[in-house]
């Protein structure tokens, strides 16, 4: 660490709750743990979105939360709930004040843009501290359809928060950042074309290989009534149109006609309730009640999460858009075969036919193609096992959190050097 008197690293996501866990939360928690091991004092400072407690400790890391609002006239309770779940451009003056007052800060690490990112930017500049920004959910690499879904709750609403965005320099966050960190290779390439500086780096997400190495898959199957001899297909991600579970369901219905013992488990928080309802309706229409389970999202520290991977024969991530895909690393660490969409950061993560199989989610015959891939893996257990073992080796060699944590520390030091020159 560069200054023994200022060891606090402040991580600022838009929200952070154990009950609505996703890839971003996993990343923030794991890098915080690595920083603790290195002698730092990371703290997560965020909004009260979806939370009940102002202060708590998650995974050994302190979390501080602050009141917030969405500065739009005419928002309904349903609109606010949708914004909490996904993409809400919130405003929290108390969070900004806390960032400005937090003692012994070495560096601010923003995990969000817009007004939250602007608050981090302004607090850092007023205090002459470095700040870095991680792009987790895609900024330069987001499909228009997904962006439209995120903005739907504020359609035709009058925004009164623009002056605060201007005050905090929300549009200058990426320009002024001492370093911009992209978790996806494609995002990094686009960022380098769009931004006017070269303080941009690709830093992939990581995985706790040891945590996912062993698990009681039989216990998971028994708990959820899944036959021991069933070919189990697993998906763990937000129940959301972006994650494209609908395609997986359609493909699974086809696959089950040739593999009657097949079983599908979908696990994740429902960020789009209407989409979740659509999935359940299809389960009924296709008479899949006895072979499909949709389970709520699991906390990162739940043993059942690891058990789910070990219960599965294959993990499928059919996303329409995916900046990285940390669940692929988790599946690999459990030695499970992976089928993933050839989109976003997954394109640089998976090697087709070696560490996994690729799927084109936009192809006219995508469901038939995915069903064929599932049939191939079910019919060829040695090939299925070989894909999983290749993935396990890949995760251990390149994506263990200890390696990623050291690379992040190197970027922090570059950010500190740039901040010193700027100051």
In the predicted structure, residue 2 carries a pLDDT above the cut 70: no
- What 147-150 contacts at long range (C-beta under 8 Å, 24+ apart), as own/partner pairs, is 149/86, 149/241, 149/242, 149/272, 150/86, 150/87
pLDDT of residue 144: 61
Q: For the residues 24-40, what does the mean pLDDT come to?
A: 93
pLDDT of residue 244: 96
In the predicted structure, residue 184 carries a pLDDT above the cut 60: yes
Q: For the residues 53-65, what does the mean pLDDT come to?
A: 96
Residue 149 pLDDT class (50, 70, 90 cuts): low
pLDDT of residue 364: 96
In the predicted structure, residue 67 carries a pLDDT above the cut 90: yes
Q: For the residues 386-395, what does the mean pLDDT come to?
A: 98
Mean pLDDT of the chain: 93
Are 297 and 23 in contact, with CB atoms under 8 Å apart? Answer: no
Which tops the pLDDT comparison, 394 or 155?
394
In the predicted structure, residue 185 carries a pLDDT above the cut 80: yes
What percent of the chain is predicted at pLDDT more than 90? Answer: 82
Q: What is the pTM of this model?
A: 0.86
Cα separation of 401 and 37, whole Å? 12
* Model pLDDT for residues 290-315, shown as the tens digit of each residue: 999 999 988 777 899 999 999 999 99
pLDDT of residue 4: 42
pLDDT of residue 72: 95
Tokens of 318: 């059919």
Whole-angstrom CA distances from 299 to 50, 201, 267, 404 are 14, 30, 11, 22
- Spelled out in words, what is the top-level CATH class assigned to the domain 209-398? alpha beta
Residue bearing tokens 């349903």: 78
HEC secondary structure over the chain: CCCCCCCEEEEECCCCCHHHCCHHHHHHHHHHHHHHHCCCEEEEEEECCCCCCCEEEECCEEEEEECCECCEECCCHHHHHHHHHCCCCCECHHHHHHHHHCCCEEEEEECCCHHHHHHHHHHHHHHCCCEEEEECCCCCCCCHHHHHHHHHHHCCCEECCHHHHHHHCHHHHHHHCCEEEECCHHHHHHHHHHCCCCCEEECCCCECHHHHHCCCHHHHHHHCCCCCCCCEEEEECCECHHHCHHHHHHHHHHHHHHCCCCEEEEECCECCHHHHHHHHHHHHHCCCCCCEEEECCCCCCCHHHHHHHHHCCEEEECCCCCCCCHHHHHHHHCCCEEEEECCCCHHHHCCECCCEEEECCCCCCHHHHHHHHHHHHHHCHHHHHHHHHHHHHHHHHHCEHHHHHHHHHHHHHHHHHHHHHHC
pLDDT of residue 1: 42
Bridge partner residues of 46 (DSSP)? 65
Residue 3 pLDDT class (50, 70, 90 cuts): very low
Residue 146 pLDDT class (50, 70, 90 cuts): low
Return residue ranges of the chain for CATH 3.40.50.2000: 8-205+400-422, 209-398
Q: For the residues 109-117, what does the mean pLDDT come to?
A: 97
* Model pLDDT for residues 234-271, shown as the tens digit of each residue: 999 999 999 999 999 999 999 999 999 999 999 999 98
CATH superfamily of 8-205+400-422: Glycogen Phosphorylase B; (3.40.50.2000)
Q: For the residues 351-374, what does the mean pLDDT come to?
A: 97
Which tops the pLDDT comparison, 148 or 354?
354
In the predicted structure, residue 10 carries a pLDDT above the cut 80: yes
């Amino acid at each position: 660490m560069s200054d023994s008197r200022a060891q606090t690293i402040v991580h600022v996501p838009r929200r952070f709750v154990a009950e609505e866990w996703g890839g971003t939360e996993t990343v923030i928690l794991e890098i915080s743990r690595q920083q603790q091991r290195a002698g730092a004092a990371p703290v997560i400072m965020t909004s009260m979105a979806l939370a009940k407690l102002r202060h708590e400790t998650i995974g050994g890391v302190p979390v501080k939360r602050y009141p917030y609002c969405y500065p739009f006239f005419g928002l309904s309770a349903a609109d606010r709930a949708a914004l909490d779940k996904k993409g809400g451009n919130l405003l929290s003056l108390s969070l900004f004040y806390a960032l400005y007052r937090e003692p012994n800060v070495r560096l601010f690490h923003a995990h969000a843009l817009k007004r939250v990112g602007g608050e981090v930017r302004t607090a850092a500049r007023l205090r002459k501290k470095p700040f870095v920004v991680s792009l987790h959910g895609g900024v330069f690499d987001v499909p228009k359809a997904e962006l439209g879904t995120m903005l739907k709750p504020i359609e035709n609403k009058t925004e009164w928060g623009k002056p605060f965005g201007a005050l905090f320099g929300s549009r200058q966050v990426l320009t002024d950042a001492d370093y911009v960190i992209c978790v996806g290779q494609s995002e990094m390439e686009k960022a380098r074309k769009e931004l006017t500086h070269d303080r941009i780096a690709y830093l992939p997400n990581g995985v706790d290989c040891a945590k996912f190495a062993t698990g009681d898959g039989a216990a998971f199957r028994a708990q959820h009534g899944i036959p021991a001899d069933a070919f189990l297909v697993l998906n763990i991600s937000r129940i959301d149109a972006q994650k494209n579970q609908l395609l997986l369901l359609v493909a699974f219905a086809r696959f089950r006609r040739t593999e009657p013992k097949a079983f599908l488990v979908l696990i994740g928080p429902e960020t789009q309730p209407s989409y979740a309802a659509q999935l359940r309706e299809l389960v009924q229409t296709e008479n899949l009640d006895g072979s499909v389970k949709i389970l709520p999202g699991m906390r990162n520290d739940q043993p059942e999460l690891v058990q789910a991977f070990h219960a599965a024969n294959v993990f499928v991530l059919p996303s329409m858009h995916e900046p990285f895909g940390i669940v692929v690393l988790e599946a690999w660490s459990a030695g499970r075969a992976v089928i993933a969409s050839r989109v976003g950061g997954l394109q640089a993560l998976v090697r087709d036919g070696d560490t996994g199989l690729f799927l084109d989610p936009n192809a006219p015959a995508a469901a038939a193609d995915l069903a064929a891939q599932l049939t191939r893996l079910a019919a060829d257990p040695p090939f299925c096992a070989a894909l999983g073992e290749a993935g396990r080796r890949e995760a251990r060699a390149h994506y263990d959190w200890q390696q990623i944590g050291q690379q992040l520390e190197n970027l922090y030091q570059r950010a500190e050097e740039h901040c010193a020159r700027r100051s």
